[in-house]
Amino acid sequence: MSPTPPPAALMKQAVARLAPVLPLLTDLGTRFTQAGHELALVGGPVRDAFLDRTPPDLDFTTSASPDETEAILREWGTATWDMGRDFGTIGARRRVDGVETTVEVTTYRADAYDGVTRKPIVAFGESLEVDLVRRDFTVNAMALRLPSLEFVDPYGGLDDLREGVLRTPSTPEVSFGDDPLRMMRAVRFVAQLGLVPAPEVYAAMQEMASSLEIVSAERIRDELVKLLLAPHPRAGLELLTRSGLAAYVLPELPALQLEIDEHHRHKDVYEHSLIVLEQAIAMEGPAGGPEESVPGPDLVLRLAALLHDIGKPPTRRFEDGGGVSFHHHEVVGAKMTAKRLKALRFDKDTVKAVSRLVELHLRFHGYGDGQWTDSAVRRYVTDAGPLLQRLHRLTRADSTTRNVRKAQRLARTYDELEARIENLLEQESLAAVRPELDGNEIAAVLGITPGPVLGRAYKYLLSVRLDEGPIGPKAAADRLRVWWADQPESRADA
């Protein structure tokens, strides 16, 4: 059965979405056809146009060889470059009336894979249909021939898109065998587009999950990031876990599915973590908003929300009397978080920020009924540092109790803590808190040179500043001399 052609109204909608780039599509298509070649808009841009979404990128495929493509683009643009000539991709850029446009054009491909690595044995194809069959999913195997805008859909991608189903142009076993990362893309499309894997696709994901081991950590990380920043990451994460892929990507996630004992002495940590993630996302500020609003989507907040309790499985203890404890799970979890994010090749700043939030996520619960001193509030703020606004949201999101009165009490208590923080920030500029003597002044007071002792003295004065607030430089120098009198170095000098 041949794929259903798009209704006129749907085609009109898709073309309308492409209206801003239609002159570009027509111009490029005409240039290629006049040179005796085919050119087509393919993949994500076509899919997004039918979803009534503005395509962020334009992908083209052509019957022209890389050298022929380069010659055409050289006449069209102001600059061309080799994106990967061996893989058939040439890039070009041109500027018209101050507007810069960049395109990438790839020669039809008919690659083969060795099944051991993700590196294809590159072979150029002879037709658009052959090129489309090697693509990941049918919804990405649709094309528009240029400049005619003829719709090409040999594998039923539009029907699958309308049904909300993910299928592969070839069998899923062949598709995922060619490139196991496609299974991660399936998970991502669930979160981004709300598509659901067809039964045979899901079965292949379960069967072939271990083949992700041949994919680089960097490529897996990139797909995980796209998943987490998608509109509905929970749906993708549930598929990631259910399919078995998480065991090779983020094994700490399925480990949260602790067996719930018959007396229900503790809640489902996996379900709790997904709820915390959803609640944290709901607290993000609008995109482009001020930094203090934590504009979404915020990767650091979402990672911290998902991973905040991963220290619970290794710290679970059944106590006498029927209780369950997870002592120091925030400390253990912070170390586990750093280890996992490093293994996934996240950058140092992200690793540091996420693991710090995991470490601090329980700190608020020491606040109790508001009996913290100003010193404790200062330490809360300075320990959080630039992560304070994210910590506010993570802490609030971490309340998933069904007890309405308890939830309201926790919210009121945190409201009070935030109010105290704001008051202290106004009075003392805690965001940039420093000892009241700098390193040179400390050295002058104690008559010492830079080194470890000076570092200890600095930390001591910082603790005084946090405990007591501003006391003035003279009082700080006096306190420093008293501290110094008890140090072994001062007695050695005597």
Q: Which amino acid is at 416?
A: E
Task: Read off the pLDDT band of 352 (50, 70, 90).
Answer: very high
Task: Read off the pLDDT band of 375 (50, 70, 90).
Answer: confident
Give yes or no for residue 494 having a pLDDT over 60. no
The CA-based angle 78-79-85, given to 5 degrees, is 145
Name the residue ranges covered by the structural domains of the chain: 1-163, 164-249, 278-432, 439-493
Range with the largest mean pLDDT of 79-88, 264-273, 448-457: 448-457
pLDDT digits (tens, 9 = 90+) for 229-280: 999 999 999 999 999 999 999 999 999 997 554 444 455 899 999 999 999 9
Give yes or no for residue 118 having a pLDDT over 60. no
Task: Read off the pLDDT band of 1 (50, 70, 90).
Answer: very low
User: Between residues 351 and 114, which one has the greater pLDDT?
Assistant: 351
Mean pLDDT, to the nearest integer, of 155-166? Answer: 95
pLDDT digits (tens, 9 = 90+) for 58-74: 899 999 999 999 999 99
What is the pLDDT, as a whole number, of residue 112? 58
Measured CA to CA, the distance from residue 267 to residue 401 in angstroms comes to: 10
Mean pLDDT, to the nearest integer, of 303-330? Answer: 88
pLDDT digits (tens, 9 = 90+) for 103-113: 999 999 876 55
Radius of gyration in angstroms for the set of CA atoms belonging to the chain, rounded to a whole number:
29
pLDDT digits (tens, 9 = 90+) for 187-199: 999 999 999 999 9
Closest CA relative to residue 212, chosen from 189, 180, 169, 188: 180
Q: Which of 190-199, 279-288, 299-308, 396-405 has the lowest mean pLDDT?
A: 396-405
What is the pLDDT, as a whole number, of residue 413? 87
Task: Read off the pLDDT band of 354 (50, 70, 90).
Answer: very high
Which residues touch 287 (CB under 8 Å, ≥6 apart)?
A: 295, 296, 297
Superfamily, domain 1-163: Beta Polymerase, domain 2 (3.30.460.10)
What is the pLDDT, as a whole number, of residue 113? 57
Closest CA relative to residue 325, chosen from 334, 338, 312, 337: 312
- The Cβ of residue 321 has, within 10 Å, a number of other Cβ atoms equal to 5
SS3 call for 411: helix
What is the pLDDT, as a whole number, of residue 264? 47
Which residues touch 93 (CB under 8 Å, ≥6 apart)?
A: 77, 78, 79, 80, 100, 101, 102, 103
Mean pLDDT, to the nearest integer, of 401-425? Answer: 86
Measured CA to CA, the distance from residue 356 to residue 349 in angstroms comes to: 11
CATH class as words, domain 164-249 = mainly alpha
Give yes or no for residue 2 having a pLDDT over 70. no
Share of the chain above pLDDT 90, in %: 57
Which residues touch 409 (CB under 8 Å, ≥6 apart)?
A: none
Q: Parallel, antiparallel, or unpaired: how do β-strands 196-197 and 165-166 relate? A: parallel
Task: Read off the pLDDT band of 318 (50, 70, 90).
Answer: confident
- Mark out the alpha helices in 294-373 (DSSP H runs): 299-307, 312-315, 329-343, 348-360
Q: Which of 27-41, 311-325, 448-462 has the lowest mean pLDDT?
A: 311-325
Task: Read off the pLDDT band of 430 (50, 70, 90).
Answer: low
Q: For the stretch 135-165, what's the b/e string if a residue is b when 16 or more beta carbons lie within 10 angstroms of its beta carbon?
A: bbbbbbbbbbbbbebebbbbbbbbbbbeeeb
pTM summary value? 0.83
Give yes or no for residue 116 having a pLDDT over 80. no
What is the pLDDT, as a whole number, of residue 491? 67
Task: Read off the pLDDT band of 117 (50, 70, 90).
Answer: low
Average pLDDT of the chain?
88
SS3 call for 467: helix
Mean pLDDT, to the nearest integer, of 88-110? Answer: 86
Give yes or no for residue 124 having a pLDDT over 80. no
Strand partners, 109: 124
The CA-based angle 146-150-151, given to 5 degrees, is 115
Confirm whether 1-163 and 164-249 share one CATH topology: no
CA atoms within 13 A on the CB side of 187: 31
Which residues touch 345 (CB under 8 Å, ≥6 apart)?
A: 217, 218, 221
Which residues touch 295 (CB under 8 Å, ≥6 apart)?
A: 284, 285, 286, 287, 288, 289
Mean pLDDT, to the nearest integer, of 391-400? Answer: 93
What is the pLDDT, as a whole number, of residue 263? 44
